[in-house]
Structure formats: C-alpha cells, structure tokens
Chain A
Amino acid sequence: MRLDAADIRVRYPDAPRPALDGVSCSVPSGTLFAVLGPNGSGKSTLLRALLGAVPLESGGVCLDEKPVEDWSRRELARWVGAVPQSEPLPFPITARDLVAMGRYAHLGPLQGERATDREAVEAALERCDVTELADRLVQTLSGGELQRVRIARALAQQPRALLLDEPTASLDIRHEMGILELLRGSAECGITVLLVTHHLDLAARYSDRILLLDRGRVAAEGPPREVLTPENVESVYRWPVAVEDDPRTGSPRVVPLRSREAGSAPEG
C-alpha cells in the first residue's frame, strides 16, 4: 500500500507554530521508511496525519491514491495497523484478548470470532514472541512485554501497511532486533512500514529511505547514506557528530561526540 502526504500543514490549538509545515513524502509499497528528527520535530504528528487522526490546515494525505478522509475507520483498520507511542492500560484483560482487538475491524458488530481470526491472533502472538504471555493479564506485563503485545495487535489486523511510533523504545537488544527483523521481513513481503524512531544507526541499517524532520519541516529525505551526513544530523539535532562507515554492517553509523572531542563547544 502506498502512502502519500502532499504539502501538509497541521497546527494544534493554541500552538505558537505549526507542528507540521509544508511536509510532503511518498512511501511506495513494500518500503521500510524511517522518520527521524529531534523531540518535537513533528514525527508523531506526521504519523497521525497519515492515519487521518489530526485535522489538516492545508495539504492532503492519500492512501493508495484515495484521500484518507474518504476511508471509513473500519476499512482503514483492515488495511493499516498502527502502534501509537503510548496508550492507557485498559481494564484487566489478557494479552490474547488485547491482541484480538486487532480483529474487531474484520468482524460485524455482533459477529463472533471465526477460526481465521483466532489463527491471525495466534500467528501475531508468535511473531512478536509473546505466545507465552498470552494468558497473562496485561496489568502484570513489563513495559517491554506490553509493547510487544501492542505490536502483535497491529499485526493481527493483517494490514498492508504498518505505522509505528518508537516501537522499540522500551525493548532489550534481543527484542528490539527481533521487531526490526520482523518489520524488515514484512517490507520484503510487500507491506509498507513507516517507523518513527530515535535510533539513527538502526534506522540506517534497516530502512530503504529516511525522512529527517526539523521543527515541522523536511530537512532531508532519501536513502540512509544521503540523509545521514554529518552536516544534516548536526544542523537538525544541534549536536556535533561523526558519521563513519561500519564495515561490518555496511551502513553509516552516527557517533555523537562529547564536547571536547568535537573541538568546539556545542551550541544550545
């Protein structure tokens, strides 16, 4: 599924400047597309805008060439799975039942779960390595475990596109790498993946293209090697960095410098 944003502007009520100002991007089917940028640069807002969850002041969003506002939420949820940065804990409910919420959009209001729905739930639990946790109440899970359950819920939607906001922020190395491998594998199977993250090196290794946001505007967009130049990263993050090629991974690696290593004091 193809995602397109054309010159979108989003302004939250009472905000001094727009959260997004003239942002355009295109994510073709089967691409793993990483969105990077400092805190408050508009990454999460871009994700919401692509999902039709915030009103646009101008510009437009299309999913498979169809304006996002023309999709019903139910139809959209069958095509696009999303994991927002955080959500409140619900009432006591098992991890399996939380993942099963991913099937709601596939069911009529009073229709019971079918075998295909249960299979989709079990497969999603398995892929996120949470099958063992399935009967636990979500209240008893650790932050990282809950995060994997939430990702499993998005997979259970069996979507053609996955949009995730810092999905690996609370995960250990094994599970972080596991989720990134899963996302890479999904992209290889033709699923469009949009990943908001602070992890520059892993974004460089796993993504096809990177969008670098700076205070609501596009600072750079392109393949990792073209976007993650020292000039781009330093000017957007306002911190001195070195970018080296990692021979083992074959990807650029961003090394933030301590002020004495940079030779001059960082500004701000």
Chain B
Amino acid sequence: MTHRRPAAVLLGLGILLVLPAGLFLGSVALSPGDVLAVLGGGGSEVHREILLEFRLPRLLVGSLLGGGLALAGATFQALLRNPLAEPYILGISGGAALGAVSVLALGLTTLGSWTLPLAAFAGALLAIVLVFRVATATGRALDVRVLLLAGVVVGAFFAALISFILAVSEARTVRSAVLWMMGTLYGADWRDVAVVAAYTLPTAFLLLRLARPLNTLAVGEETALYLGTEVERVKRTAFAAASLITAAGVAVAGVIGFVGLVVPHALRLVIGSDHRALLPLSFLLGAAFLTAADVAAQVLLAPTEIPIGVVTALVGVPIFLILLRRSAVR
C-alpha cells in the first residue's frame, strides 16, 4: 500500500473536484458567477431557488448515496469473499421494492410523503433480518456462505411477489413502480438529505474503522482471529452497517444499480484491494460517479430525465470493461 499512497491521495483530490459540477449543470446551466453569488448570500431569486432548494440537496443526496453504495459494495465483497457481491445482493433491493410497490399498488398515503420511503425501508429491514436469521440459524456463528445463498434466494422470493403485485395492478401503477425501481434523485429535498446523512455518515465511519479487520478476513477467519480480529463482531457490524446504508439509500432514491459493483472494482484495478485505501476512496469515487451520472441523466435528453440507474449502467459498464481489459493485458 505504501508505494501506492501518492496515487491514492491524488485520486481522492481529483474526485473531490468533480463534485461541485452538480451545482453548475442541470436542466438549466448556471455560470460560475451565478453559483458563487448565491453561495455568497446574494444572487437572483430564481437562482437562489434553483440552487438552494433543488440542486444543493440533490447534489448532497446523490453524493451520500453514491458514496454509501460504493462503500457498501466494497464491504459486501470483502465480507462475502465474492467479487460479484454488490449492495443489493442480499435481497435488500427486493425487500425495499416490495414495500414501495405495495404502497403504490394499494394507493396508500397514510403518512403523506413519508409513506413510500418508510414502506421501502421497512421492506429492506425485513429482508435484512430474514437473511441474517437464516445465516445464523445453523450455529451461533455467522456463516457468510449461507448469508450469500439466503440473500439471493430471499431476493428471488421478493421479486416473485413484486411480479405478482404488478401483474394484478393497473398500468399507471406499473409505470410508477418500474420508474421507482430504476432509481431517481428527482425531487430530492433537504428532508432526504437529513435522512440519508443520518444513516450514511455514522455507518460509513463505522465501516472505515473496519478496514484492517476486513483485510485480515481475506486470509481466513482462523488467521484473522489470531491477528487480533473479533471475527464474529466484525462480520456482524459490517453486515449491519452496509445493509443499513443500502436500505436508507433505496428508501430515498430507489434501486440505483452498478455503483456498488463497478466503483470498488474499478478502484481495485488501479490502487489494489487494501481496504485502508479502498474503503475511503470507494466512498469518494462513488459520490463523484453518482453525481456525474445524475448530471448526465438531467442534461442528455433535457427536459426529459433519464432514470439514473440506466445512466450508471450505460456509463459504468463500458468504463469498467475497458479497465478490466487493460488490467488483463498488463
């Protein structure tokens, strides 16, 4: 890791510079002067509203979500010792989608604008608890192979339930459900910022502290134990923290795919897999990537917005394939 530290620091700084792009670009382009005027407390009424009521919260939600998803993905890859792992692999997206689709299909508005996110969050928690209970049922230890299998199967079960609900729903419901499942940052407001930050920041801090323990898990649980890792506690904390980040993200913005898979792997190809560098940089690159994808989603077909999940996949996959091919050639 030592010889890669300068590269990692440069990468981190570069990523931080990308983030403000979300303030300038969008359905209406603002000049740097306009943006600075508003940030300085002045600017026109219109510009103030665009920036402070729409763009800033949307930028923050996007950064926190992208960072959280990439961090959760890197954590799940380490915890499950499986490169295909991503934040939704353990059925969290299925649970959240079941909650959201149920609300849409039944037309529930009991809790106003909180109804849908809360239902999605409850569904995600249901999936998390279910999968965890199955994976710890065989003994007292958390078996990560069982965790992975249980997650995939529970996800498939929820997917079947969702298909059933959609099959008997009217066309309008189906459309909003499908759009929700593709993910969007449209309409992100300060309340969303508060919710996402409340879940993402503490759990992200918790996960960053697990960098060394996660490194030791890579040499097997027995050796990890002898190197001073409280293996059970680390596995459970990593699972809970990564799951909560994902659940909160899904509840606020739907299922945004590929960030959690592609960002950590792209970084692995460049800076290696030492979690002390991988985890913080995953958070930064995930934030920058989702912000850039969100700008693209607003700008490319303006005034129509492309679902952000579509952009992350369409952009993320080719970049990833190029990196993969280059590292294979090298």
Which residues of chain A have a CB within 8 Å of any CB of chain B?
13, 48, 51, 53, 72-78, 80-82, 84, 87-88, 90-93, 97-98, 101-102, 104-105, 107, 109-110, 153-154, 157
A91 pairs with B226, CB closer than 8 A: no
Please provide the 6 A-B residue pairs with the shortest distance between their CB atoms, ordered closest to farther.
Answer: A77-B228, A105-B228, A91-B273, A90-B218, A82-B226, A109-B209
Min distance, Cβ A102 to any Cβ of chain B, angstroms: 7
| Residues on B facing A (Cβ under 8 Å) | 1-2, 81, 139, 208-213, 215-216, 218-220, 222-223, 225-231, 268, 272-274
Whether A92 contacts B273 in the complex (CB less than 8 A), given A87-B219, A104-B216, comes out as yes
Provide the main secondary structure of the chain A interface. Answer: mixed
Residue pair B212, A109 in contact (C-beta under 8 Å): yes
Tell me the complex Cα distance, A76–B2, Å.
Answer: 27
User: Once A and B bind, how many residue pairs between them come within 8 Å at the CB atom?
Assistant: 80
Question: Is B218 touching A88 in the complex (CB atoms < 8 A)?
Answer: yes
A74 touches B139 (CB 8 A): no
Q: Is the CB of B226 within 8 A of A51?
A: yes
Interface centre among B228, B268, B272, B274 (most CB of A within 10 A): B228
B216 touches A93 (CB 8 A): no
Given contacts A87-B219, A91-B218, A104-B212, 17 further A-B contacts (CB under 8 A): A73-B230, A75-B228, A76-B228, A84-B220, A84-B222, A87-B222, A88-B218, A88-B219, A90-B218, A91-B268, A97-B1, A97-B274, A104-B213, A104-B228, A109-B209, A109-B210, A110-B208
B219 pairs with A53, CB closer than 8 A: no
Cα distance A75–B229 when bound, in Å? Answer: 10
Please give, as numbers and ranges, the residues of chain B lying within 8 Å of A153 by CB-CB distance.
227
B223 to chain A, nearest CB (A): 5
A251 to chain B, nearest CB (A): 31
Task: List, in ascending order, chain A residues with CB within 8 A of B223's CB.
Answer: 84, 87
Contact partner of A53 among B211, B212, B222, CB < 8 A? B222
**In the bound complex, what is the Cα–Cα distance between A53 and B226 (angstroms)?**
9
Say yes or no: B216 contacts A73, CB within 8 Å. no
What residues of chain B lie closer than 8 Å to A72, measured between beta carbons? 230
Contacts of B2 in A (CB 8 A): 97
List 16 interface pairs A-B (beta carbons < 8 Å), by A numbering.
A53-B225, A72-B230, A73-B228, A73-B229, A77-B226, A84-B220, A84-B223, A88-B81, A88-B218, A88-B219, A90-B273, A91-B218, A91-B272, A93-B218, A104-B213, A109-B211
A residues within 8 A CB of B215?
90, 101, 104
| B residues near A154, Cβ cutoff 8 Å | 226
- With A91-B218, A93-B272, A109-B209 already in contact, the answer to whether A13 and B230 are too (CB < 8 A) is no
In the assembled complex, which residues on chain A have CB atoms less than 8 Å from the CB atom of B213?
A: 104
Report the minimum CB–CB distance from B2 to chain A (whole Å): 8
In Å, the complex CA distance between A78 and B208 comes to: 22
Residues on B with beta carbons closer than 8 Å to the beta carbon of A88: 81, 218-220
Judging by beta carbons under 8 Å apart, are A77 and B227 in contact? yes
Determine the chain B residues whose CB is within 8 A of the CB of A74 once the complex forms.
Answer: 228, 230
**Interchain nearest-CB distance for B215 vs A (Å):** 6
How far does the alpha carbon of A90 sit from the alpha carbon of B211 in the complex, in Å? 14
Chain A residue at minimal CB-CB distance from B78:
A91
The answer for the CA separation of A88 and B216 in the assembled complex, in Å, is 11
Cα A88 to Cα B219 in complex, Å, equals: 5
Q: How far is the CB of A69 from chain B (nearest CB, A)?
A: 13
CA distance A13 to B227 in the complex (A): 25
Residue of B nearest to A93 (CB): B274
Q: Closest residue to A91 on the B side, CB-wise?
A: B273
Residues of B contacting A104 in the complex (Cβ-Cβ under 8 angstroms)? 212-213, 215-216, 227-229
With A87-B222, A107-B212, A109-B212: A93-B273 Cβ-Cβ less than 8 Å: yes
Chain A residues, CB < 8 A from B225: 51, 53, 73
What B residues does A110 contact at CB under 8 A? 208-209
CB-CB < 8 A to A98: which residues of B? 219
CB atoms of A87 and B220 under 8 A apart: yes
A76: B residues at CB distance < 8 A: 228
From B212, B213, B226, name the one whose CB has the most chain A CB atoms within 10 angstroms: B226
In the complex, are the beta carbons of B139 and A13 less than 8 A apart? Answer: yes
Chain A residue contacts of B229, Cβ below 8 A? 73, 104
A59 to chain B, nearest CB (A): 20
* A78 closest partner in B (C-beta): B228
Least Cβ distance of A99 to chain B in Å?
11
Q: Which residue of B lies closest to A97 (CB)?
A: B1
With a 10 A CB-CB cut-off, give which of A72, A90, A109, A110 has the most chain B CB atoms. Answer: A90
| Assembly CA distance A127 to B234 (angstroms) | 32
A18 to B36, CA, bound (A): 73
Q: Closest A-chain residue to B205, C-beta based?
A: A110
Q: How far is the CA of A72 from the CA of B228 in the complex (A)?
A: 8
Measured CB to CB, the nearest residue on chain A to B140 is A55
| CB closest chain-A residue, reference B206 | A109
State A59–B287 Cα separation when bound (angstroms): 53
Residues of B within 8 A of A81 (CB): 226
* Chain B positions within 8 Å of A78 at CB level: 228
- Assuming the contacts A87-B220, A91-B218, asked whether A101 and B272 have C-beta atoms less than 8 A apart, the reply is no
